[in-house]
Structure 1
């Protein structure tokens, strides 16, 4: 993703804790971070001495540290392995690590492969909400950025009005509906021609 931005191949990726990019801050506190374990590893104590993959410096790293502290543990009690998020996904699914400090939507990808994984700790339980940031490449037009920011602001307004989460599908972004083509009115009193005259220069084929 970082490479895509530097090559101008991606306009608007979502990045977490990347200070080298200039972005716009919109209130997007999330509870998307978890410490997960392989099936059967429910409490944090079960992860003692285990291999835990985590993208260091991210919110996944933060929730791991918080969960360890609440369990009376430190990073010395686990085998902490620094991995990028995509590697965490593949390593956990392959059983090469026992747990991870990671976040959604990467967790959703892991769940598709390991549906009975354990969510050992969550920012929902600890009450720790981490901010995210919207960043764009330097060559993205300001008008395009403004449109995206407006959509994010509308989403934040909806969140403020529904603090308990959606009880139904949230409203879609306000956009002008695409006009539908109008049906051609019938031509009363007229019958379609039995044959069409050839176009100028066209070769007409006669069977036989």
Structure 2
């Protein structure tokens, strides 16, 4: 019993997951824990970000008065029932972005100035490209930037019900770039070693055979004779 006590104590203490906090003292949580958590609220995570859906509109139109989103791509003035007046629609940056850590991957929404900052574009230009011209945004620079960075993100988990269906969403409230390079970014961008093709092996063999026969050989000292 005395011998087993220290080992039991050690195994119990080592199984406790240490709490990781942000610089502001907020507890960090993994994406897997957020997805499985039943409670709504705000969370802090350290994750990589990626835009996997490149064919989304990246912006929406909303009422300039009440800010309510409208399901249209026509910017003409309309009578807003909530504002009780004729008003115009203005574009607002809004899109889906994927959050990745070593436990899981999830999708969150990012909008307004946060989205514009990430894309380095204003909402008017985004709407002109994706909705007016019906073109896709060029995201090569954004992909390259995101592939080498880790972010500390403040998330809100919320839910809403419609027609007996409950939908849970994640939205980014703020994000801040971390200073270290993510490990998985290296895995995504690293290139596999290419095996030699048969033609390359033949070239190497031909080159070796074509070496000059009078090349100076390596000097090897004579083996000393053993005395009887």
Structure with larger RCO (C-alpha < 8 A, sep 6+)? 1
**TM-score, normalising length: structure 1:** 0.22
Structure with more of its chain in helix, by fraction: 1
Structure with more of its chain in strand, by fraction: 2
